[in-house]
Amino acid sequence: MQRRAFLAGAVGIAGGLAGCSDVLPGSGDSNDGGDDGPAGAVRGLYEAAFSGDVEEANAYIHSEADLDPLTQSQADSFQAVDARVESVEVVEQSGDTATVQARLSAVPDDSSERQTLPSIRLELRTENGEWKVYDDASADDAPVAPRVQWESSERTDADGSVTAVTFTHAGGDTVPSGTLSVRASGSTASAPNGTDVTAGTTLVVPTEGRGNSMAASTDILLGWSNPDDGSSQILAEHTLTSPTVGTLAERLRLE
């Protein structure tokens, strides 16, 4: 049987999150059940991997698991994107087997903001009285972010200050408007609910809010939130070429 590289999928976060389905996110309270429990083993594996300790991470893998061990190259990729464990939770446990869900986050190499990743479920079994990761139990149909080509631009006033940034759907999946939001300079604005965003639809991001203007080179991030598990991913990014009139408005609009 071919061994499964369950950690290899997680390394894909180093290249960006759009479309990633092997590992995704969210936040939530940790429910370890103690450091010696199955959730503690999963947390220990990922924290060791993210800190670059390959030997310790691989010690959490069952000797009979059909899983490839972590490599140093993968560990280096985790560190490059500052990967973290957000939460771990035992979703099922019976005797010497258990299923644990882990939620991770990272700062992709094309972004300056931390993103949550698709949650991953791992099957664990005991070995010599200790919990070890035995298999990747993630659902094959785990939800992924919509695949869309976005074209961004700026609208300016007579003085050249940016009054709005636009993201136009130029082809790809239909996106429910209520799942879209924009982040910039620590502020977030949401799109109105109830509309399907399809090719030709433009999402307008007003930048005339009260407050200090945003400087040129500020990143405007278009994000998508998974309505099922609360995970989020960046779909597109626009870097301002000129200062804005004001801050990010509280509400986006569709045209």
- 3-state secondary structure string, 228-245? CCCCEEEEEEEECCCCEC
Element (H, E) at 106: strand 97-106
Kindly report, residue by residue over 114-157, the tens digit of the pLDDT.
777 777 888 999 999 999 999 887 654 455 678 899 999 999 99
**pLDDT, mean over the chain:** 81
Cα 115 from chain centre:
4
Decide: 247 and 207 in contact? Cβ < 8 Å. Answer: yes
Listed by start position, the domains of the chain span: 6-136, 148-254
Model confidence at 31, in pLDDT bands (50, 70, 90)?
Answer: very low
Indicate if the pLDDT at residue 213 is higher than 70.
Answer: yes
Q: Which pTM does this prediction carry?
A: 0.53
Rounded to 5°, angle at Cα 202 from 13 and 153: 75
- Of 8, 21, 20, nearest to 141 (Cα)? 21
Q: Residue 110 carries which side chain, given as an amino acid letter? A: D
Indicate if the pLDDT at residue 196 is higher than 90.
Answer: yes
Q: How many residues does the chain have?
A: 255
CATH assignment, 6-136: 3.10.450.100
Indicate if the pLDDT at residue 214 is higher than 80.
Answer: yes
